[in-house]
Amino acid sequence: MFLKNCWYVAAWDHELIDGAMLARTILGQKLVFYKGESGQIVALDDRCCHRGARLSMGRVEGDDVRCMYHGLKFAPSGQCIQIPGQERIPPKLGVRGYPVVERDHLVWIWMGDPALANPDDILDLPYMHDPKWKGIPAYLHYDANYLLIVDNLSDFAHLAFVHTNTLGGSEEYAFVTKPVAIERLDDGFRVERWHMNSDPPPFHRKVIPNKTDKVDRRNIGRMYVPGIFSLESLFAPAGAGAEKGNLEGAREYRNCQFMTPETESTTHFFWVYLNNFEGEDSNISRSLLASLIEGFMEDKAIIEEQQKVLEEDPDFRMLAVAADVALSHFRWTLERKIEAEQAAQPTPAIAAE
C-alpha cells in the first residue's frame, strides 16, 4: 500500500517542545517521537521490547527514553542501555529506531531501509525558509486514505463547487477555465490554470483593501510523490498583463501541504498557507488560517464520506473524466514506484524440509 523508501512529514517541530512525547502512527506503525536534551529528535517503535508497554507513556532522560513499566532505558538508536537490577544487557535487546530530520519546522521520517535514508533527498520548498513568506502551521486528521486527498488537490475544478463561498469564489471557475499546462513528471505532476477578469474569492477579499476589483487569477499546482503538494497562487489586477510577467500590484500565496498515511484509511494532513505581503503583525496569516480551515473542512466532509462509500463496496471502481489527467498520472507513477521497491526487496529464504 505504501512507498517506504522516501521521506514523510511526521510532525511540526512545535509538537515536541517542553519535553513532549508524541505518540503517532505512520504507515500503520505506532511510533513515539521526542526531542532529547541535546536537541536531537528521536523516533522509535512505541512498544517496549520487554513486556510491550508503550514507550510514549515513559520518561525522557537526556537523549534517552525510559519505559515506566519496568524501567528499561533505551538510547536514541533504540538499543537498550539499562535494565534495573540486571548487569548484563543482551545485545539484541532493543526497539527499532528510525532516521528523522528536522527542517523548516517540520519533522521528517524515513520508514524504509535506513541505509537508503539521505537527508539531501528531502524536498526543498524555498518559501518554507524565506522570511518574506509568513504563515501559521496547521494540522488536520482525516478518516480517509491519503490518496483521496491527493485526488482532491489534483483538480482545481472542485474549487468551484466544494468551495464556492470560501476558497473558490464561484462555479464559473469550473466552466470557463481549463489548465494551460499539464506536465506529467517522473515524481508527480505540475498543473497551471488561469481565471481571467474574475471576482476575488472570499478568502482573498478578507485580506485586501480593494475587495471588489476584478483580478486575473493563476494557480500552479505541483504534486510530488509520495504526497506533497505545493500551490502557487497569484492574484493580479485584471488586465494588467500578469500572464505576460507584469506582477505590479499582485498578491501571492504559497500553500504547502503534506499528506502522510497513518493507516490505509486514515491520514495526517500538515499544511502552512504563506503570503508575501503581510506586515509586522500576523493578522493576515490568522485570517488565512481560519479561511483554510473552513475550506479544508468542506473537503474533509466529502472525502471522509467518499472513504465510507469505497469501504462499503470494495468492488466499486471510480471512472475517470478529462479533468483527472493529473491524478491518474500520479496514481500510476506511485504504483510503479511501489512495485519497483517491492521487487527490489530480497525474497525470504525457504527452509529445507
Q: Domain ranges in the chain? A: 7-120, 125-339
Percent of the chain topping pLDDT 70? 91
pLDDT score of 141: 98
Collapsed DSSP state (helix, strand, coil) of residue 111: coil
The pLDDT-based confidence of 106 (bands split at 50, 70, 90) is very high
Q: Provide the grid cell at 264.
A: 490505509
pLDDT score of 288: 94
Distance of CA 299 to the CA centre of its chain: 15
- pLDDT greater at residue 319 or residue 176: 319
- The residue-averaged pLDDT of 133-158 equals 91
The pLDDT-based confidence of 34 (bands split at 50, 70, 90) is very high
Residue 73 CB neighbour total at 10 angstroms = 19
pLDDT score of 171: 58
Look at domain 7-120 and name its CATH class.
Answer: mainly beta
Question: 314: burial class by Cβ within 10 Å (0-12, 13-18, 19+)?
Answer: exposed
pLDDT score of 346: 74
pLDDT score of 66: 98
The amino acid at residue 23 is: A
pLDDT score of 177: 62
In tens, the pLDDT along 42-59 reads 999 999 999 999 999 999
What is the dihedral angle through the alpha carbons of 266, 104, 202, 183, rounded to the nearest 10 degrees? -80
pLDDT score of 158: 65
The pLDDT-based confidence of 1 (bands split at 50, 70, 90) is confident
Are 142 and 266 in contact by the 8 Å Cβ rule? The answer is yes
**Sheet arrangement for strand 80-82:** 59-61, 64-66, 73-74, 80-82
Are 194 and 179 in contact by the 8 Å Cβ rule? The answer is no
Percent of the chain topping pLDDT 90? 79
In tens, the pLDDT along 218-249 reads 999 999 999 999 999 999 999 999 999 999 99
pLDDT score of 353: 43
Task: Report CA-CA distances (Å) from 86 to 70, 83, 165.
Answer: 12, 5, 65
Give the residue from 189, 208, 192, 191 showing the smallest Cα distance to 200. Answer: 208
**Per-residue pLDDT at 164 exceeds 80:** no
User: Domain 125-339 belongs to what topology?
Assistant: Naphthalene 1,2-dioxygenase Alpha Subunit; Chain A, domain 1 (3.90.380)
- pLDDT greater at residue 122 or residue 165: 122
